[in-house]
Structure formats: structure tokens, C-alpha cells
């Protein structure tokens, strides 16, 4: 009988997310809302928990309060089992006053937590990507190859490869070279149109990780991709695990195989939302065999009064009154008055769209009120004077001012 290894997971959730500004003006990248009711961090946590990995440290840093509150409300595992936890860990600054200086430095600063639990394997995953993954399959690959380090990797178009760490791997997965965001990425040997890209997810044997981090600290290393991994390739057994072969139960035939998105820019974030829509979406959020966990919101179902809704996601607690919504995602407790029109929009929680508002390819962050008759997304020059606008024409209305009386206000709107 094979004994399952003792696994500890470290989730790197300190990303500042500057390219997602203004959505990251008041929150870290992993805390940015996604879809009808989720946050980006929910995807990595769901993958770990669904994979029966229950000992998880979440390393936070920039603008972390909303993320901490989300974890506190949404991700409490069984408290009677001390080996099952999701614990938030801010920078401890035991080595000095510095915050985490990079990915490997963040883990180095928490070596004490790792050694205290004495796991067989340490899983180090990022918190800012959208995907479903059975991590147990990657663990099995790691054990089968007696690896010291395993890197999750995915073939990407060669034109996009300079945004990733690029792996040169042999037929059995042995990593021969690793280059972080190269200007001229090397193509895969069997496919010149694609390159083998790191997903930023790693499995280490505890001994290899501990030794490498201490040596890296002496050398002044800060980052896995730039520093630690290229050095380890020279002396350790480092393998690449092809994520495109990972199979998650409940995935439908029409979904994109190996779906994985880095939503690090506004355009990528917007496009990923469009992947949720349609009768056969590229990424179907409904999968009872591999659920994505998030907050246990207790509000009512949405209510529609003389509304027209086409190919859209409408979340709980909203009131859509005489509005027309097309190809859009509307989150919780959103009020739309008469004659509102949305076309390819993302409207976040607790927003109010007054009568006659017209929005096209617009992201509206939380707590906003869009005044009657406003038109956003139709005149790019006018929009740029007021809001952030991407080169592709996505307009972002930054977060508004919150209110403590929104529950009473929503109740009044239903009268």
C-alpha cells in the first residue's frame, strides 16, 4: 500500500497587480473580483482543496485587507482538525525591515513555518491565474520521476511566450534550461509555433527547497524564475509537468482543454469574463465534481421586472428593472433602472445604474452610481478624460465610495 506524501502548500498572494490598475487601486491582484461571485484567489484555493491538500499558508503583502477579510469569511476549513487550515501570513520581517522582495524570498522568509510542519513535499503556487487543476496528478508525476523540483508548464503561442518563463525540456520532461521572459523565446522541439511556458506553480521536496533557499539567500537571490530555478537545473532533478494533460472530473467536451489564463492586464481580465458566457463556454463555472469555492452570500435571488437579458450572468440580490443586458456579467446587489443598456460589460457589486444609462465594453467597479443618461464606451476621447481606457477600448470606472446602508437601500428599491 502506497502512503500518500505529507504535503504543505504555500500560495503566493502578495501580487500588487499594477497592470490591473485601477481595479487594484484598493486591493491586491488575488483579491480582484471575478465572474458572478468569485475572486481570483478562489481558483488556486479550490484546486488545492479539491486535490485533498488541506494545509495551506497564504502569503500576502500589498493592500491585503480585502483579501484577508475574504479568506476569513469564505475559507474556514474544519477547525477540529489541526492539520487542515488556510492561514494568512503577512511578511514576518524576521531578517530585517524588508517586505517580500520576490517569490523565492517570500518562501525563504517563511522557512520556519515549513520546517515546523516537516512535510514531504512543498507545493508553491501563485494566486493570480484562472484554471482548474488536479494537483494530485502533478504530485504523481513528481514522485514517479523522483524529482527534486517539478514545474507546471503549458504550451503557449510563440508570439506570447516572452511574457513567461520558458522551459527547454527533454522528451521525459527533464528541464535542460529555464529563461525568465526571454526576448527571443525558444520554440518547442516538436512545434515551432509554440513554446513551453512555466505557470509559476512548483512542487519541491522539502530538503531540496530548504537547501536551495538558504543558499539563494547567501547569494542574494530573490525570485524562483530569475534566480533559483536556473541554478537548481545544474545540480538537481528538475522536471516539467505538462498541464495540458491534466484531467479534471466533470469538465465538458466543449470546454477549452487545459484552460489557463493569466489575467494580469485589463484586456486579459475582460476577455476571460467573455470566456464564461455562451451555451458552451470555454470555461464553464458549473462543475459539481470540481467546485470553485467562495463566499457564502446569503442574499436573495435576482429579480427581473420587464427586463431583457441575453447571454449574461446575473448574480444574487440584484434588481433589473426595464433594462436590456447583453453579453455581460453583473455581480451582487446591482440595481438597474428603466431603459439601461449594457453591451459586453462587467458590473461589480453594489453598483447603481440610473435611468437611461448606456454602457458598452465597460468595467464598473464596486459601489458606483452611474447617473441617469450617462453614456460610457461610445466616445473614447471623452472617456479617457475621466477614466482608464485600454488600447483595445475597454473603459474602467474605478471603485466608488461604499455605504453601510446598502441593505436598507436595496430593500427600499424592491418596494
Burial 91-107 (b: 16+ CB within 10 A, else e): beeeeeeeebebbbbbb
Q: Is residue 341 part of a domain?
A: yes
Phi (first) and psi of residue 214, to 5 degrees: -65, -45
pLDDT tens for the chain, residues 1 to 415: 467 899 999 999 987 778 999 999 999 999 999 999 999 999 999 999 999 999 999 999 888 899 999 999 999 887 788 889 999 998 765 555 566 778 888 899 899 999 999 999 999 999 999 999 999 999 999 999 999 999 999 999 999 899 899 999 988 999 999 998 898 888 887 888 999 999 999 999 999 999 999 998 899 888 898 899 999 999 999 999 999 999 999 999 999 999 999 999 999 999 999 999 999 999 999 999 999 999 888 889 999 999 999 999 999 999 999 999 999 999 999 999 999 999 999 999 999 999 999 999 999 999 999 999 999 999 999 999 999 999 999 999 999 965 444 444 444 443 3
**Contact (Cβ atoms closer than 8 angstroms) between residue 53 and residue 135:** yes
Q: Residues 339, 255: one domain? A: no
Residues 67 and 128 in one domain: yes
Task: State how many domains the chain has.
Answer: 2
Q: CATH number for the domain including 184? A: 3.90.550.10
Residue 148: which of 174, 125, 128 has the closest Cα? Answer: 174
Whole-angstrom CA distances from 380 to 374, 395, 396 are: 14, 8, 12
| In a shared domain, residues 244 and 123 | yes
**Residue 328: closest CA among 341, 345, 316:** 345
Are 29 and 264 in contact, with CB atoms under 8 Å apart?
Answer: yes
Q: How far apart are CA 40 and CA 72, in angstroms?
A: 16
**381 and 315 fall within a common domain:** yes
**257 and 312 part of one domain:** no
- The helix (H) or strand (E) run that includes residue 406 is helix 406-413
327 occurs within a structural domain: yes
193 assigned to some structural domain: yes
Domain extent, residue 365, equals 303-413
Do residues 124 and 210 share a domain? yes
Angle at which helix 41-50 crosses helix 65-74, to 10 degrees, equals 40
Which of 262, 286, 318 is a domain's end point?
262
Q: What is the pLDDT of residues 215-229, one digit of tens each?
A: 988 998 888 988 999
Domain membership flag for residue 272:
no
> Is 124 found in the same domain as 29?
yes
Domain membership of residue 284 (yes or no) is no
Q: Are strands 149-157 and 194-205 parallel, antiparallel or unpaired?
A: antiparallel
Contact 265, 20 (CB under 8 A): yes
268 Cβ contact partners less than 8 Å away, ≥ 6 residues apart: 261, 262
Report the CATH number that the domain containing residue 395 is assigned in CATH. Answer: 2.160.10.10
Q: Indicate if 173 and 320 belong to the same structural domain.
A: no
Asked if residue 207 belongs to a domain, the reply is yes
Q: Using CA atoms, how far apart are residues 307 and 371, in angstroms rounded to an integer?
A: 19
> Quick check: is 274 in a domain?
no
Same domain, 351 and 215: no
Chosen domain end from 262, 295, 322: 262
At residue 49, the pLDDT reads: 97
Looking at 233, 262, 291, which one is the last position of a domain?
A: 262
**Does 315 share its domain with 236?**
no
Cell 527571443, residue located: 184
pLDDT of residue 413: 44
Alpha carbon distance 93, 187 (integer Å): 41
Q: Which pLDDT score is estimated for 189? A: 79
pTM: 0.93
Give the span between the Cα atoms of 274 and 297, in whole angstroms.
24
- Whether 346 and 270 have beta carbons less than 8 Å apart is answered as yes
Residues in Cβ contact with 82 at an 8 Å cutoff, skipping those fewer than 6 apart: none
Same domain? For 258 and 328 the reply is: no
Q: Is residue 287 part of a domain?
A: no
141 and 64 within one domain: yes
Amino acid at each position: 500500500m502506497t502512503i500518500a506524501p505529507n504535503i504543505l502548500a504555500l500560495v503566493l498572494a502578495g501580487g500588487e497587480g499594477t497592470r490591473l490598475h485601477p481595479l487594484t487601486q484598493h486591493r491586491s491582484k488575488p483579491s480582484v473580483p471575478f465572474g458572478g461571485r468569485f475572486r481570483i484567489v478562489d481558483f488556486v484555493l479550490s484546486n488545492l482543496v479539491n486535490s485533498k491538500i488541506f494545509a495551506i499558508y497564504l502569503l500576502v503583502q500589498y493592500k491585503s485587507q480585502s483579501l484577508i477579510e475574504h479568506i476569513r469569511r469564505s475559507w474556514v476549513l474544519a477547525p477540529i482538525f489541526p492539520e487542515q487550515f488556510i492561514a494568512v501570513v503577512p511578511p514576518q520581517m524576521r531578517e530585517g525591515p524588508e517586505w517580500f522582495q520576490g517569490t523565492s524570498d517570500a518562501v525563504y522568509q517563511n522557512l520556519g513555518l515549513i520546517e515546523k510542519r516537516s512535510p514531504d513535499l512543498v507545493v508553491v503556487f501563485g494566486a493570480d491565474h484562472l484554471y482548474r487543476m488536479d494537483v494530485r496528478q502533478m504530485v504523481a508525476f513528481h514522485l514517479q520521476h523522483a524529482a527534486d523540483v517539478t514545474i507546471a508548464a503549458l504550451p503557449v503561442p510563440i508570439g506570447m511566450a516572452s511574457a513567461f518563463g520558458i522551459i527547454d525540456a527533454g522528451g521525459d520532461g527533464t528541464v535542460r534550461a529555464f529563461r525568465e521572459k526571454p526576448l527571443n523565446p525558444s520554440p518547442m522541439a516538436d512545434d515551432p509555433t509554440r513554446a513551453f511556458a512555466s505557470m509559476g506553480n512548483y512542487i519541491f521536496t522539502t530538503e531540496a527547497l530548504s537547501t536551495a533557499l538558504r543558499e539563494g539567500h547567501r547569494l542574494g537571490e530573490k525570485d524562483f524564475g530569475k534566480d533559483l530555478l536556473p541554478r537548481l537545473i545544474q545540480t538537481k532533478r528538475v522536471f516539467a509537468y505538462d498541464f495540458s494533460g491534466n484531467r479534471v472530473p466533470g469538465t465538458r467536451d466543449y470546454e477549452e482543454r487545459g484552460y489557463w489564463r493569466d489575467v494580469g492586464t485589463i484586456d486579459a481580465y475582460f476577455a476571460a469574463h467573455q470566456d464564461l458566457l455562451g451555451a458552451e463556454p470555454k470555461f464553464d463555472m458549473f462543475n459539481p465534481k470540481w467546485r470553485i469555492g467562495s463566499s457564502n452570500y446569503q442574499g436573495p435571488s435576482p429579480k427581473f421586472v420587464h427586463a431583457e437579458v441575453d447571454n449574461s450572468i446575473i448574480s444574487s440580490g440584484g434588481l433589473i428593472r426595464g433594462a436590456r443586458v447583453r453579453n455581460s456579467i453583473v455581480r451582487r446587489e446591482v440595481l438597474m433602472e428603466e431603459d439601461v443598456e449594457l453591451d459586453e460589460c462587467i458590473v461589480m457589486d453594489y453598483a447603481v445604474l440610473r435611468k437611461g444609462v448606456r454602457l458598452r465594453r465597460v468595467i464598473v467597479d464596486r459601489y458606483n452610481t452611474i447617473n441617469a443618461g450617462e453614456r460610457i464606451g461610445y466616445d473614447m476621447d471623452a472617456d479617457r478624460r475621466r477614466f482608464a481606457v485600454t488600447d483595445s477600448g475597454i473603459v474602467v470606472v474605478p471603485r466608488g465610495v461604499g455605504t453601510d446602508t446598502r441593505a436598507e437601500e436595496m430593500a427600499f428599491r424592491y418596494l
